[in-house]
Amino acid sequence: MKIADYLLGYSPPIWATLIAGVLLVITLSLSLYLIFEHLSSYKNPEEQKFLIGVILMVPCYSVESFVSLVDPSISVDCSILRDCYESFAMYCFGRYLVACLGGEERTIEFMERLGRASAKSPLLGLDCEKGTVKHPFPMNYILRPWKLGQWFYQVVKFGIVQYMIIKLLTALLAVILEAFGVYCEGEFNWGCGYPYMAVVLNFSQSWALYCLVQFYTVTKDELAHIKPLAKFLTFKSIVFLTWWQGVAIALFYALGLFRSPIAEGLQFKSSVQDFIICIEHRWALLLLFTYTFSLPNLMS
C-alpha cells in the first residue's frame, strides 16, 4: 500500500483533534479581537497595515496546523501556503519597524546621523567604530564592518527580502517535487528534495534573523517607545523556532530518537509537528501579541 493511500484513510486520534480544535478557537478569537481593535482605531495606517499583516500570521499558523492534523494527505500543501505567508509576515515586520522610524528616508537619515556621531564619539553605547557596525564572533572573521547609513539599511533590507524570495521559490519547487513524489517532507533521504531545501532555508532564515538582530541593535533606543525587544522576541519565536522545531522533529525521526506517546499516537512526523504547533503556548504567544502589539502600546 502506498503512503498516499494510507494517508487518505488515516484520521488522527479524537483526543488530538479535540485539544487542537479548542486551542484553535481560542487563538482565532483572540487574534480577530486584536485585528478588529486596530481596524476600529485605524489612526496610524503606515504602521498598522504592516502590523495587521504580522498578526494574521498567528491564525494562519493555527488554521494550517489544524487542517493538516485532521487531513495529513494535504499537509505538504498547507505547509507551503504557510511558508508563503510566513515570508510575507517577515517583510511586514521589517516594514513595521521602518514605519515606526518614520519611513525609509528618515530611517536612512537617522542611521547616517548615528554613523557621523559614532565616528566623533565612540562612547554611544553601540558596538560601532568610525561610523560602522562591527560583527560578533565568528561573523567578524567572515564579514567586514557595515557602514552606518544607506549601505547598512540596504544590506538589512536585502537580508529580509532574500528570505521572502527564497521561501516563495522553494515553496514552488516543493509543489513540483511533490507532484513527482520526490519531495518527501521530513525525510532526510539524499534522493529527496526536502533535505536540500531545509539546508538552503536554514541559511536563508539565519541570515534574515542576523540582519534583524543588527537592525534592532542599532535602532533599539530610537524605537524604545514601541518596546522593540518584546516584539522582536515574539516574532522570532513564532517564525524561526517553529521552523527549527519542524526540522528537529524530522531529524529525530530519521535517527529513531522520537518515541514519545504523542508520536506513537499520531503516527506521522508532520502530524506531530502540527499538533505541537496547536498546543505549544500558541495562545500564550497571542496574548503576548496582545500586550506587545496592542493598540495602547502602538498609540503611546
Q: How confident is the model at residue 293 (pLDDT cuts 50, 70, 90)?
A: low
195-202's contacts with Cβ under 8 Å and 24+ in sequence apart are 197/170, 197/173, 198/247, 198/250, 200/166, 200/170, 201/166, 201/167, 201/170, 201/243, 202/243, 202/244, 202/247
Q: What tens digit of pLDDT does each residue of 20-67 get?
A: 888 888 888 888 888 888 888 888 888 888 988 888 888 888 888 888
Per cent of the chain over pLDDT 70 is 76
Q: In what order do the strands lie in the sheet with 128-129?
A: 128-129, 132-133, 146-147
The label of the residue with cell 534522493 reads 191
Q: What tens digit of pLDDT does each residue of 123-171 get?
A: 444 455 557 888 888 888 888 888 888 889 999 999 989 988 998 898 8
Q: What tens digit of pLDDT does each residue of 204-244 get?
A: 988 988 998 889 888 888 888 887 777 777 777 777 677 67
pLDDT at 7: 47
**pLDDT surpasses 70 at 283:** no
Q: What tens digit of pLDDT does each residue of 55-71 get?
A: 888 888 888 888 888 88
Q: Domain residues of the chain, as ranges?
A: 3-299
Does the predicted model carry a pTM greater than 0.85? no
Q: Which CATH number fits domain 3-299: 1.10.3470, 2.60.40, 1.20.1070, 3.30.70?
A: 1.20.1070
Alpha-carbon distance of 65 to 12, in angstroms, equals 13
pLDDT at 125: 44
